[in-house]
Amino acid sequence: MKRVTKNEETHPTKSKEAVAEPQTGLISTNSTATTMEARENELIALAYSAAEERIRNGKASSAEIVHFLNLGSTKSRYEQESLNADIALKKAKVDAIHQTEVSDKLYKEAIEAMKKYSGRD
């Protein structure tokens, strides 16, 4: 594997070794993520940091600025609350279905036990 360093001239304090992967040709940094979800979260955090830096430097595109303005809007917060409530409701429904299945199984077992006890098998 060939070792390459990120653009040290523009980011001398942020030089991080990266490894070129021969199969894909992609360059991956030394990530601490052990799952794809964790890696995705790292990349999202990096993207947010880069966007924040561009906003602070006055170099952000209008699309980036509008994106973050929309995230902070009341409508966006209500939509997120609604999504969270929908998720909670769906989880409650799944739990209720599982509980019903367990109850049905227990009732059937109790009926069978009563039949055996009363001699109606």
**DSSP, residue by residue, the chain:** --EEE--TTT-GGG--EEEE-TTT--EEE-----SHHHHHHHHHHHHHHHHHHHHHHT---HHHHHHHHHHTSHHHHHHHHHHHHHHHHHHHHHHHHHHHHHHHHHHHHHHHHHHHHHT--
Residue 118's pLDDT is 82
Residue 82's pLDDT is 97
Residue 61's pLDDT is 94
Residue 22's pLDDT is 52
Residue 119's pLDDT is 73
Q: Residues of the chain whose pLDDT is less than 70?
A: 1-29, 120-121
Which pTM value belongs to this model? Answer: 0.47
Residue 38's pLDDT is 92
CA dist 20 and 4 (Å) reads 7
